[in-house]
């Protein structure tokens, strides 16, 4: 070969190659802002396009290109047939090029709102973002959306590439006005430190070389900025964190914990704490295939061996003993919803952190964020591509740091338990158990939250009917059945209400109404507590039963009419009350000298003259099951 | 001190290996014997050290591989104490399916894609590591590190799972699987530099040497055994050649080269003017041929 270099030079050459740094960046912005063209241009100008690729690019450009007989650089980076046909980018494409000092991984992300999740995928691993703007169009909704996501993901290095300057006659005025417009938005989302560059991806201005068309611009070209930008290693300076991925136990003599140091550094002898347990130990050695290390720092994948035999498994985090992460099962986080199915509070999801999967529910959507105006909107669910701030409740505690302090310790994804799809990404703001956050709790814990930890649907089972119809007997059996299924219940009846709360009330019509009103209000409080309340009162008047019904939410009030004729009841007369009433010894006795108004809309009617109490209870349980009051899973106790 | 490019790539790959072993029940490493597989295997050994490799290594043997590849495979399996599974599509062999008699597309489908699916089904692997890199080819540049496959091993490129940070979602239902690509972010130059830096053994076919080749459709095909039918006028010539990529010998083009050491190869790679996959007959059938093969379950 003609261009063989001398052996010494070759060694140096290889050493340079080996010691390159790595910069990962994304290009984002609205559709047709020229992202793909820009990357094609970068690859072309950095001579990363091979002859055979160039040959097929030239053919494709003529066939499906948008630049007439010129090369359509965008075709280089749109990988899928479907994308090439539609002329749009669906998914993020990764491209690679390198210069003397750096290797670059470029994520070319889709501009359509529909594919925001794919844009976020690319942004999540980026050190830097190039936000493109079409100089003719200025700042668009997608520019703001992508900028917001970039800022949310903690990407600190921003290049604002104002593209297609060739189409606005390289006007400084246009450039300045877009830069100012963008700044007013960027300032509000914490991206004020950005570098604006006027470029033409198509013509090549200010990509590698400045060119002659923007003499008014004195700043760096895009490549100069990429080459010199400092990729700040915040992780190295932060406290030591090591999520345990895998327990490495080849034999009885070796027990190590494999994982990647996500932040800080560690040396043999350093004191560590295991979270969530809080047990402490010291590092004995740092084992790798290439021998033990004196030190490991952020980014390195190693295996740690500890001095003490302690119980550690995947999902635990090893951390600096004197600077530990928090442990919580409740936190507030920003969520980007990425599934077609909307996010619903209370629905169970799987949450995965760096190394742990736990069950999780969103307990409250505090607000949605309008990426265009940054307004906080109220809402009860998040739709595809919507952003919101939520409280989450986990099945078990995890160790975490706020995302702002430590990206890898503060990030998570949500997975749908049925389809296994990744449906959301989340960034933890703070835990909700800390004393200084205690004020969140009264707002967050509501009826459904209370009911959820009891795993049941709160309701009032309102037993009405004549004295002696069998209300209390049947209610007792129903409560026993519910209890056996581990439902949390309470019975309100004459025994525990008339003797306490309502002992000041007699049996006049006024007192009967007040009696029922108090019972209804008490039932409502208990339903708010998440309980299943069995009320067993004659409650003879329709109006008061309606009052009780209207206090509850739709579906929470189940009226059960224990129907037996006066004759049957008087015949049973278990307490001898009918006898006394007939003799006039008891006044205002329902059925005798006070009316009983039959229910008109009872959910359940029990023919108590012909059913045993057990059969009556069967009928009620069946109704509860069929109408979703009982979770099916718990039936076998 | 921040890590170099290669150190970062190595750590990322090791993290991916460990994640799969921690979360999947029955993973396997697809070993194609080439340079990428060599790096993949080396990284796997590093990831689990001092434990042994906690999964088997699968080679889909089309029966048309270079002889030197098979020798190398068996030597590596013995040296590293690997649990090697070799699978060949028996029906394909019975029907005498070959690249010369049936054409590259049909042959590749039956002896590679179908064979791979047979093996994955037979052993019920729920995750399979492959050495594919995103810089190799257009459709690969779009693929996730954890690439979900349905029960028929199909890839749905228009509906890939989002993949955030280094949190990988390997959850699947019964019958589904995940293809995992620990080398996603490596380039060809990274691979060669790493092989050099780590002293990783590779098949000698990568180094220039005099070999018997014929020129066919603009490619130099090595006559590796007597199953290759020579067309009239074709006569094997000894040329100093090497391979940038290795597959089945009738489908793999050699390049003329003097590079017989790793530094020479690295230099040649960095100055190269053609992409490595140009030496692959099977990629040139149509513009989207790799995308099509991937949809059907190929790696």
Percent of chain A residues past pLDDT 70, beyond the cut:
93
The predicted pLDDT at position B133 comes to 96
Instruction: Tell me if A52 is assigned to some domain.
Output: yes
Same domain membership, residue A144 and residue A47: yes
- A86 at interface of B, judged by CB pairs closer than 8 A: no
* Residue among B6, B45, B141 minimizing CB distance to A18: B6
A-chain residues within 8 Å CB-CB of B49? Answer: 287-289, 303
- Give the number of other CB atoms < 10 A from CB of residue A573: 15
DSSP-based helix, strand, coil % in chain B, nearest 5: 40, 15, 45
Residue B68 binned pLDDT confidence (cut-offs 50, 70, 90): very high
Is pLDDT above 50 for B97? Answer: yes
Q: Which tens digits make up the pLDDT trace of B213-267?
A: 999 888 899 999 999 999 888 899 999 999 999 999 999 999 999 999 998 888 8
Strands (DSSP E) contained in A373-485 are 376-377, 387-400, 411-415, 422-431, 459-464
Element (H, E) at B46: helix B35-48
Instruction: Tell me if A25 is assigned to some domain.
Output: yes
Domain boundary residue, one of A158, A193, A228: A228
Same domain membership, residue A221 and residue A239: no
Same domain membership, residue A378 and residue A341: yes
Q: Which tens digits make up the pLDDT trace of A85-110?
A: 776 778 998 999 988 889 999 999 98
- A64 at interface of B, judged by CB pairs closer than 8 A: no
Same domain membership, residue A186 and residue A61: yes
Count Cβ–Cβ pairs < 8 Å, chain A vs chain B.
201
* Residue among B1, B46, B158 minimizing CB distance to A82: B158
Same domain membership, residue A113 and residue A214: yes
Same domain membership, residue A428 and residue A300: no
The predicted pLDDT at position A159 comes to 97
Same domain membership, residue A474 and residue A339: no
More confident residue, B104 or B127: B127
Element (H, E) at A626: helix A613-626
Kindly identify which residue of chain A lies nearest to residue B134, measuring between CA atoms.
A94
Kindly identify which residue of chain A lies nearest to residue B43, measuring between CA atoms.
A289
Instruction: Tell me if A1 is assigned to some domain.
Output: no
Question: Sheet harboring B84-87: ordered strands across?
Answer: B84-87, B57-60, B27-30, B127-129, B177-180, B146-149
Residue A78 binned pLDDT confidence (cut-offs 50, 70, 90): low
A-chain residues within 8 Å CB-CB of B47? Answer: 258, 301
* Residue among A248, A288, A290 minimizing CB distance to B51: A248
Domain boundary residue, one of A228, A248, A269: A228
B-chain residues within 8 Å CB-CB of A124? Answer: 163-165
Instruction: Tell me if A421 is assigned to some domain.
Output: yes
More confident residue, A630 or A267: A267
**Would you call A121 and B162 a contact, using CB atoms and an 8 Å cutoff?**
yes
A-chain residues within 8 Å CB-CB of B22? Answer: 245-246, 314, 355
Three state DSSP letters for A77-98: HCCCHHHHHHCCCCCCEEEEEE
Residue A176 binned pLDDT confidence (cut-offs 50, 70, 90): very high
Domain count, chain A: 4
Same domain membership, residue A399 and residue A295: no
Helix, strand or coil for residue A396?
Answer: strand
Same domain membership, residue A223 and residue A239: no
**Would you call A288 and B267 a contact, using CB atoms and an 8 Å cutoff?**
no
Is pLDDT above 60 for B282? Answer: no
CATH at residue A495 = 3.40.50.300
CATH at residue A432 = 2.40.30.10
**Rounded mean pLDDT of A209-224?**
94
The predicted pLDDT at position B297 comes to 76
The predicted pLDDT at position A439 comes to 33
Domain boundary residue, one of A276, A292, A320: A320
Same domain membership, residue A464 and residue A588: yes
- B270 at interface of A, judged by CB pairs closer than 8 A: yes
**Rounded mean pLDDT of A264-277?**
95
Same domain membership, residue A115 and residue A11: yes
Same domain membership, residue A610 and residue A549: yes
In chain B, what are the domains?
A: 5-190+288-295 (3.40.50.620), 202-282 (no CATH)
In which domain, by residue range, is A554 found?
455-635
Q: How many Cα atoms sit within 13 Å of B287 on the Cβ side?
A: 16
Which residues 14-33 of B have a C-beta within 8 angstroms of A? 14-15, 18-19, 21-22
More confident residue, A512 or A472: A472
Is pLDDT above 60 for B210? Answer: yes
- Catalytic positions of A are 539
**Would you call B49 and A117 a contact, using CB atoms and an 8 Å cutoff?**
no
Q: What is the ipTM of this complex?
A: 0.93
Residue in A86, A165, A101, A87 with CA at minimum distance from that of residue A133: A165
Is pLDDT above 50 for B56? Answer: yes
More confident residue, A12 or A553: A553
- Give the number of other CB atoms < 10 A from CB of residue B31: 26
Q: Which tens digits make up the pLDDT trace of B131-155?
A: 999 988 888 899 999 999 999 999 9
**Would you call A301 and B47 a contact, using CB atoms and an 8 Å cutoff?**
yes
* Residue among B15, B157, B169 minimizing CB distance to A260: B15
- B167 at interface of A, judged by CB pairs closer than 8 A: yes
- Give the number of other CB atoms < 10 A from CB of residue B59: 23
Kindly identify which residue of chain B lies nearest to residue A154, measuring between CA atoms.
B165
Is pLDDT above 50 for A10? Answer: yes
CA distance B11 to B4: 11
Q: Please enumerate in sequence order all residues whose Cβ is within 8 A of that of B232, keeping only pairs 6 or more positions apart, or say none.
A: none
Is pLDDT above 70 for B21? Answer: yes
- B273 at interface of A, judged by CB pairs closer than 8 A: yes
- B81 at interface of A, judged by CB pairs closer than 8 A: no
Query: How high is the mean pLDDT of chain A?
Result: 88
A-chain residues within 8 Å CB-CB of B271? Answer: 3
């Amino acid at each position: 070969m003609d261009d063989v270099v001398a052996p010494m030079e070759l060694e140096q050459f290889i050493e340079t190659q080996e010691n390159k740094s790595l910069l990962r960046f994304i290009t984002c912005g609205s559709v047709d802002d020229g992202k793909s063209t820009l990357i094609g241009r970068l690859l072309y100008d950095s001579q990363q396009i091979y002859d055979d690729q160039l040959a097929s690019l030239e053919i494709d450009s003529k066939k499906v290109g948008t630049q007439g007989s010129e090369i359509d650089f965008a075709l280089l980076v749109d990988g899928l047939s479907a994308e090439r046909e539609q002329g749009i980018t669906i998914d993020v494409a990764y491209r690679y090029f390198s210069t003397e000092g750096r290797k670059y991984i470029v994520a070319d992300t889709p501009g359509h709102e529909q594919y925001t999740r794919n844009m976020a995928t690319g942004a999540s691993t980026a050190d830097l973002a190039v936000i493109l703007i079409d100089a003719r169009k200025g700042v668009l909704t997608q520019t703001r959306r992508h900028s917001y996501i970039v800022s949310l993901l903690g990407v600190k290095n921003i290049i604002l590439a104002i593209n297609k300057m060739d189409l606005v006659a390289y006007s400084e005025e246009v450039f300045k006005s877009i830069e100012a417009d963008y700044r007013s938005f960027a300032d509000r989302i914490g991206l004020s430190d950005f570098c604006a560059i006027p470029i033409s991806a198509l013509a090549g201005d200010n990509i590698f070389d400045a060119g002659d068309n923007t003499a008014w611009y004195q700043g760096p070209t895009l490549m100069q900025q990429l080459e010199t930008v400092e990729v700040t290693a915040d992780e190295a300076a932060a406290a030591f964190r090591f999520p345990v991925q895998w327990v490495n136990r080849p034999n009885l003599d070796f027990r190590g914990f494999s994982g990647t140091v996500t932040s800080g550094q560690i040396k043999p002898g350093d004191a560590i704490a295991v979270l969530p347990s809080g047990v402490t130990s010291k590092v004995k050695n740092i084992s790798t295939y290439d021998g033990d290390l004196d030190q490991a720092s952020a980014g390195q994948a190693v295996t740690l061996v500890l001095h003490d035999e302690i119980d550690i498994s995947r999902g635990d985090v090893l951390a600096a003993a004197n600077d530990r992460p928090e442990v919580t099962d409740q936190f507030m986080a920003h969520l980007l919803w990425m599934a077609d199915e909307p996010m619903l509070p209370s629905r169970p999801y799987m949450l995965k952190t760096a190394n742990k999967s736990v069950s999780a529910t969103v307990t409250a959507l505090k607000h949605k964020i309008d990426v265009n105006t940054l307004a906080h909107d109220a809402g009860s669910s998040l739709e595809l591509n919507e952003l919101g701030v939520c409280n989450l409740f986990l099945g078990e505690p995890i160790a975490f740091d706020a995302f702002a302090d430590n990206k890898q310790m503060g990030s998570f994804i949500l997975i749908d338990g049925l389809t296994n799809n990744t449906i959301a990404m989340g960034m933890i703001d703070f835990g909700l158990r800390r004393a200084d956050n205690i004020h969140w709790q009264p707002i967050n814990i509501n009826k459904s939250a209370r009911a959820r930890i009891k795993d049941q649907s709160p309701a009032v089972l309102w037993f009405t009917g004549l004295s002696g119809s069998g209300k209390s007997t049947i209610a007792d059996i129903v409560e026993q059945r519910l209890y056996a299924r581990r439902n949390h219940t309470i019975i309100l009846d004459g025994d525990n209400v008339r003797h306490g709360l309502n002992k000041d009330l007699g049996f006049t019509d006024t007192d009967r109404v007040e009696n029922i009103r108090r019972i209804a209000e008490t039932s409502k409080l208990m339903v708010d507590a998440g309980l299943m309340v069995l009320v067993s009162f004659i409650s003879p008047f329709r109006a008061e039963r309606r009052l009780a019904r209207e206090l509850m939410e739709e579906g929470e009030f189940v009226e059960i009419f224990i129907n037996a004729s006066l004759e049957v009841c008087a015949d049973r007369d278990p307490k001898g009350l009918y006898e006394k009433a007939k003799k006039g010894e008891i006044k205002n006795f329902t059925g005798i000298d006070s009316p009983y108004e039959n229910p008109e809309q009872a959910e359940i009617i029990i023919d108590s003259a012909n059913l045993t109490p057990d059969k009556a209870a069967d009928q009620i349980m069946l109704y509860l099951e069929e109408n979703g009051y009982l979770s099916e899973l718990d039936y076998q106790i | 001190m921040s890590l170099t490019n290669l150190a970062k790539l190595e750590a990322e790959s090791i993290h991916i290996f460990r994640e799969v072993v921690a979360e999947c029940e029955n993973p396997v490493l697809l070993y194609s014997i080439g340079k990428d597989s060599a790096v993949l295997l080396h990284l796997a050994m590093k990831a689990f050290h001092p434990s042994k490799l906690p999964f088997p290594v699968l080679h889909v043997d089309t029966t048309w591989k270079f002889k030197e590849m098979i020798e190398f495979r068996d030597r590596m399996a013995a040296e590293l104490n690997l649990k090697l599974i070799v699978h060949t599509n028996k029906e394909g062999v019975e029907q005498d399916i070959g690249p010369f008699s049936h054409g590259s597309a049909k042959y590749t489908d039956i002896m590679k894609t179908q064979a791979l699916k047979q093996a994955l089904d037979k052993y019920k692997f729920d995750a399979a590591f492959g050495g594919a890199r995103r810089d190799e080819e257009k459709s690969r540049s779009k693929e996730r590190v954890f690439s979900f496959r349905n029960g028929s091993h199909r890839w749905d490129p228009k509906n890939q799972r989002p993949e955030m940070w280094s949190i990988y979602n390997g959850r699947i239902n019964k019958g589904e699987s995940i293809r995992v690509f620990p080398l996603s972010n490596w380039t060809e130059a990274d691979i060669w530099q790493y092989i050099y830096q780590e002293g990783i053994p590779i098949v000698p076919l990568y180094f220039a040497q005099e070999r018997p080749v014929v020129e066919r459709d603009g490619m130099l095909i090595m006559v590796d055994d007597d199953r290759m039918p020579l067309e009239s006028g074709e006569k094997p010539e000894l040329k100093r050649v090497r391979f940038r990529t290795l597959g089945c010998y009738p489908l793999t083009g050699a390049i003329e080269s003097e590079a017989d050491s790793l530094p020479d190869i690295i230099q040649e790679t960095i100055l190269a003017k053609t992409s490595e996959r140009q030496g692959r007959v099977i990629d040139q059938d149509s513009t989207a041929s790799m995308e099509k093969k991937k949809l059907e379950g190929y790696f």
